[in-house]
Amino acid sequence: MADSGSEDIAVIGNTDLTPSESENNLKNTMVEKGTNLLKRMEINVAEAEKRTGKNAVNMQETYTVYLVETRAVDATSEGTTPVPDSLWRRYSEFELLRNYLLVTYPFLVVPPLPEKRAEFVWHKLSADNMDPDFVERRRVGLENFLLRVALHPVLSNDKIFYSFLTEENGWKENAFETGFQAMADSRLKALNATFRVKNADKRFADMKHYGDELQSVISQLLRVRARAADRLYGVYKVHANYGRVFSEWSAIEKEMGDGLQSAGHHMDAYAASVDDILEEEEHYADQLKEYLFYADALRAVCRKHELTQYELEMAAQDLTSKKQQQEELATGTVRTFSLKGMTSKLFGQETPEQREAKLKMLETQIEEGEELVKERNTECEEFVKSAWVDIERFKEQKDHDLREALISYAIMQISMCKKGIQVWNNAKECFSKM
Amino acid sequence: MSDTILDDNASSLSIPTDIARHMLDLDEDDDLEVFSKETTEGSSFNASMPTSPGSMINQYKFEEEEEDIDTKDIFVLVDNPESHVTAIETYITYRVVTKTTRSEFDSSEFEVRRRYQDFLWLKTRLEEANPTLIVHPLPEKFVMKGMVERFNEDFLEKRRRALNRFLNRIADHPIFSSTEDFKIFLTADVGALTSHKKLGPGFLSRMGESVRGLAATVRGVRNRPEEFTAMQEYVEAFGQKISSVDKVTQRIVREQKEYLEDLKECAPTYTLWSNSEEELAEPLRGMASCLERCYQETEEQVKELNDNLNPTLHEYVLCTETLKTVLRRRDNIQAEFEAKTEALLAKHADRESIREDLNKMEDRLELANNALKSDWTRWKKVMRTDLRSAFMDTAEKNVNCYEKCLAVWESFLLSQRTDAEGTQVSDSS
């Protein structure tokens, strides 16, 4: 099915580049690396709009829709920029797409969606989904999601994904027709497997553990960071009061007046500068959040492995037990305690005809069982193989992206320090004229 | 050493008996020997004195009045708080060190121990003797409830600095520094000080004065000269503004401290994360160490605010009260004079004796007004210097803090970029 392509795709995640810049970067690396969707098509989530409509229970609701634009790459290179094709999608449709991908490609680390509700907020950001800042950040996140999928060696070739991008009305039906909803594993089943599996591949167990740790540490980091950002905001903003008071004070002073007044202006500038700083901080937080959610996707792959392994083990165990039964029946010995054994002891042995029939049934079952074990074994092996390839790909992507995130954080800090130095040097200058 | 600098031929600063005449000489200290540069850098003090260079420089810094550095002939320092335990109470004394070349002092160096009460006595005495001169405020009497350890280090250091500033202001004041009370404060042993304290105007005479003062206050002053009204308006406004600045500064300190609390948790989280990673471990540890450094620098910055800007602003808040009191006293003197003038017009008045009193009061009023005017100018100059340098120091410290953090992040960035192979990175501005 999918061409797994070159695994070393250097996906540059959200740094301090604008979405269109980062998309360009993706495109550039794309052209070098693989045969992915983005080579043929530009993808944008260009706008967001509020809509109101009736929902499933016939009640009025307000929701946001996002404009997904696509444009064939070739057209642009010919010098003309045709109008892109576009359609509106709700967040829930993105969710549906992702669920489809999760079920259809359980061996892949599927890129995450931006959060449904604003979490880890600091006081300036509202936790309201209708808040324009939140909507904007979500727009960026959705675009990022589409780009990541489009860049993925396997996912980018998916027909339903293509349909999502290009067919306004038909895509849901197409998705449902694949019957993916029926294929989804129940949580209970997965949980059960996790506890009972005996010989899971150690690498996957380690990866799952890593996923747990990653999720825990990033959550902690996001929490701590949000609080610190809140405080920093307070510190800067209080300085605006200096501006106001210095200005009032300068009115009553003769020699000191000018110095005070101009120093006050710098204090105002200082207070105002925190808004930009914190916007960039928020950007950094978004990058971390993406990998917080990626951790979940990673763990999902590991859990699926456990499930397939468990089902293999179950099948094998079943087979063994059937073979044992066959042996017992054939030789007449009862090796293990069984109801059959008990009943035959209590109620007498079966007739030879009955035994014959049973043996025949067992033989069929054993045949089927062996088929099943073979099937499941192949399934398991293939899963392990493809999943591990994608996990390796994911690891490289993660290392690259997070390192870039740290670098851009450092750049942001540097810029903040430089601004601070400038403001306070100016203020000092003014104070010296007091 | 300072005592070798002044030779016998130099005319010394005589204790002015006529204060008014001295007021005019305020800026003409020509008769003082000019001291060598060494003195101003504090090397005149004994090496054995455990004074930090910082504290020495501190006490000179605000004396940046153009002429005065070279003519300063007395240096005082308050340091070394020690606690004393007696059966009745526990109290703190501070060491007061004096170095001087003034001839009215028997020696050139003195060292005594004084407690807060003694400083308070000195202040009160100076105020009583010079009702319209401006005495620098003392740190407040300790009234904070719920503070478990009354004498914790932080509090003592803050108080010591404030007492030091107070005493230095007195030493710099041309009139205050030449009073007998000041001299006794600096030089007398505990017994002598106690005896001297008892000699002051008694309780009853103080009562008498304040009763008269009260009467005058009730009557109110009728013809206050414009310039004093302007002063009063200024003091009102200044008081409000300086109080606001003080509050803003305190708020900043509070917010910074809370920020530091949260920042503190960041570095360990990155370290924790680095334990789960391979490739990322090194950059994550780098982040952790950057954040730790930034934390330390910010901590120092907050300390600077707390130790320097805050106390200075606070003192000027207290100054406002002093200024209001001084203006009130002047008003009272004028009110008394006006009352006496009216008394002259009463039918059965003893004109002769009233006229005599009136003359004295007129002189007194003129003296008070002149004293206030001149000290007002002086005060404004000192205030301007103090606040300017306090704000400049704060700005300087902030710049320093940012510069250090900048260096830390830049070196982190450099290490990451040299490690990264072929990854596309944007340029820092």
Quick one: average pLDDT of A106-130? Answer: 77
CB A241 to CB B248 under 8 A? yes
CB A409 to CB B416 under 8 A? no
Q: Which amino acid is at B417?
A: R
CB A410 to CB B416 under 8 A? yes
Closest-CA distance, A281 to chain B, in angstroms, reads: 14
Distance between CA atoms of B288 and B298, rounded to whole angstroms?
15
Shortest CA distance from B236: residue in chain A: A252
Quick one: average pLDDT of A264-278? Answer: 93
CB A263 to CB B391 under 8 A? yes
On whether any CB of chain A is under 8 Å from the CB of B418, the answer is: no
Quick one: average pLDDT of A208-216? Answer: 95
Distance between CA atoms of B168 and B162, rounded to whole angstroms?
10
Where is pLDDT greater, at A143 or B207? A143
Closest-CA distance, B134 to chain A, in angstroms, reads: 19
Closest-CA distance, B137 to chain A, in angstroms, reads: 22
Q: Please name the member of A16, A238, A425 whose beta carbon is closest to the beta carbon of B399.
A: A425
State the alpha helices, DSSP H only, in A70-201.
73-77, 91-104, 132-151, 159-166, 171-177, 180-183, 187-196
The two three-digit tokens of residue A274, written as one number: 């925190």
Quick one: average pLDDT of A345-354? Answer: 68
Chain A interface, best mutation among B250, B273, B397, by max A CB count within 10 A: B273
Q: Identify the band that residue A349 occupies on the pLDDT scale cut at 50, 70 and 90.
A: low
Closest-CA distance, B109 to chain A, in angstroms, reads: 36
CB A399 to CB B384 under 8 A? no
Is the alpha carbon torsion for A303, A309, A310, A311 positive or negative?
A: positive
CB B423 to CB A403 under 8 A? yes
pLDDT of residue B156: 83
Closest-CA distance, B374 to chain A, in angstroms, reads: 17
Any residues with CB less than 8 A from the CB of A255 and at least 6 apart, and which?
A434, B384
Q: Please name the member of A217, A400, A417 whose beta carbon is closest to the beta carbon of B276.
A: A217
On whether any CB of chain A is under 8 Å from the CB of B413, the answer is: yes
**Phi, psi torsion values for A62, nearest 5 degrees:** -110, 135
User: For the segment B321-375, what is each residue's pLDDT rounded down to a tens digit?
Assistant: 999 999 999 998 888 888 888 877 776 667 788 888 888 888 989 999 999 999 9
pLDDT of residue A177: 87
CB B423 to CB A400 under 8 A? yes
The kind and range of the H/E element at B110 are strand B109-115
Shortest CA distance from A419: residue in chain B: B402
CB B269 to CB A220 under 8 A? yes
Query: ipTM of the predicted structure?
Result: 0.82
Contact criterion met (CB below 8 Å) for A156 and A36: yes
Size of interface A-B (CB pairs under 8 A): 163
Closest-CA distance, A123 to chain B, in angstroms, reads: 14
CB A231 to CB B255 under 8 A? yes
Residue B429 with chain A: CB contacts under 8 Å: 415, 418
On whether any CB of chain A is under 8 Å from the CB of B346, the answer is: no
* B 224-243 near A (Cβ less than 8 A): 234, 237-238, 241-242
Chain B interface, best mutation among A244, A292, A399, A431, by max B CB count within 10 A: A431
CB A421 to CB B425 under 8 A? no
Distance between CA atoms of B246 and B201, rounded to whole angstroms?
37
Q: Please name the member of A232, A411, A424 whose beta carbon is closest to the beta carbon of B398.
A: A424
Going by the DSSP 8-state scheme, the letter that residue B144 receives in this structure is: -
Question: CA nearest B130: which of B164, B167, B88, B178?
Answer: B178
pLDDT of residue B28: 39
Shortest CA distance from A271: residue in chain B: B252
Q: Please name the member of B263, B273, B398 whose beta carbon is closest to the beta carbon of A217.
A: B273
Distance between CA atoms of A70 and A88, rounded to whole angstroms?
12
Residue A230 with chain B: CB contacts under 8 Å: 262
Contact criterion met (CB below 8 Å) for A410 and B294: no
Where is pLDDT greater, at B343 or A10? B343
pLDDT of residue B61: 44
Q: Please name the member of A231, A411, A417 whose beta carbon is closest to the beta carbon of B405.
A: A417
Q: Please name the member of A12, A16, A245 whose beta carbon is closest to the beta carbon of B248.
A: A245
pLDDT-flagged residues of chain B (< 70): 1-70, 142-151, 200-219, 347-349, 419-429
Distance between CA atoms of B5 and B71, rounded to whole angstroms?
12
CB B272 to CB A16 under 8 A? no
User: Does the global pTM surpass 0.90?
Assistant: no
pLDDT of residue A333: 66
On whether any CB of chain A is under 8 Å from the CB of B288, the answer is: no
Angle between helices B266-274 and B226-264 (to 10 degrees): 20
pLDDT at A13 over 80: no
Contact criterion met (CB below 8 Å) for B290 and A410: yes
Angle between helices A132-151 and A257-331 (to 10 degrees): 50
* B 381-400 near A (Cβ less than 8 A): 384, 387-388, 391-392, 395-396, 398-399
Going by the DSSP 8-state scheme, the letter that residue A68 receives in this structure is: E
Q: Within 13 Å of residue A262, how many CA atoms lie on the same side as its CB?
A: 16
Q: Please name the member of A232, A246, A421 whose beta carbon is closest to the beta carbon of B406.
A: A421
